[in-house]
Amino acid sequence: MASPQAFDKMSSRLRVVEVVDGSDRTTAAVIPVSELNVVGTWFDMRDVRSVLVKCILHSRTDNIEAFSIQADADSDGGDGNIAIVEHADPTGANLAGDSVFLECQAEQLAQEGADNSKELRYISAKVKLGNGSDRITMVIIAKMKRRTAGLTADYSA
């Protein structure tokens, strides 16, 4: 049994996959009103148990109209995206600092892939913002299948 002095660090199992900061109007997180675009890159789920995607609003006038996790068989999203999970009511987050969350399990990916005769392996988040000036920060955190062995430091360089 692990002692309080020698415990497994949470970061041995969790990994921040991507952070997209929409405070700079040139980033991919600032999306035109009429579009439902993929934010960020496609992430390989091969060694992952689950992911958590969090969108944080920057101001009280920002608005998220739609939010989902998409999956694809190709690493570039070119094989026809399939919605794995969609947020039921992302409009509930409507003040600065409010967040919406979505989670996706590897089992959901496998099931949706089987239902659609595809081997889904890559995921990405999609978000539709209320207007062209809305800004969000998106964080994607993955829970890995295997621990990172020998992780003892509290920093990475």
Tokens encoding 121: 């392996």
Which pLDDT tens digit goes with each residue over 32-64? Answer: 322 334 455 788 888 889 999 888 888 766 678
- Structural element, H or E, at residue 50: strand 48-57
- Bridge partners of 103, per DSSP, are 52
Q: By CB neighbour count within 10 A (0-12 exposed, 13-18 middle, 19+ buried), where does 49 fall?
A: middle
The dihedral region occupied by 138, where left means phi > 0, alpha psi between -120 and 50, and beta the remainder, is beta
Provide the pLDDT confidence category of residue 75 given band limits of 50, 70 and 90: confident
Q: Within its chain, how far is the Cα of 154 from the centroid?
A: 24
> Within 10 Å of residue 109's Cβ, how many Cβ atoms?
23
Specify whether domain 13-144 bears CATH 3.40.50. no
Q: Give the domain ranges of the chain.
A: 13-144
Which pLDDT tens digit goes with each residue over 87-123? Answer: 999 888 888 888 899 999 999 999 999 999 999 998 8
- Entry pTM: 0.76
Helices (H), 10-153: 106-115
**How far, in Å, CA of 14 to CA of 147, rounded?**
8
Residue type, 101: F
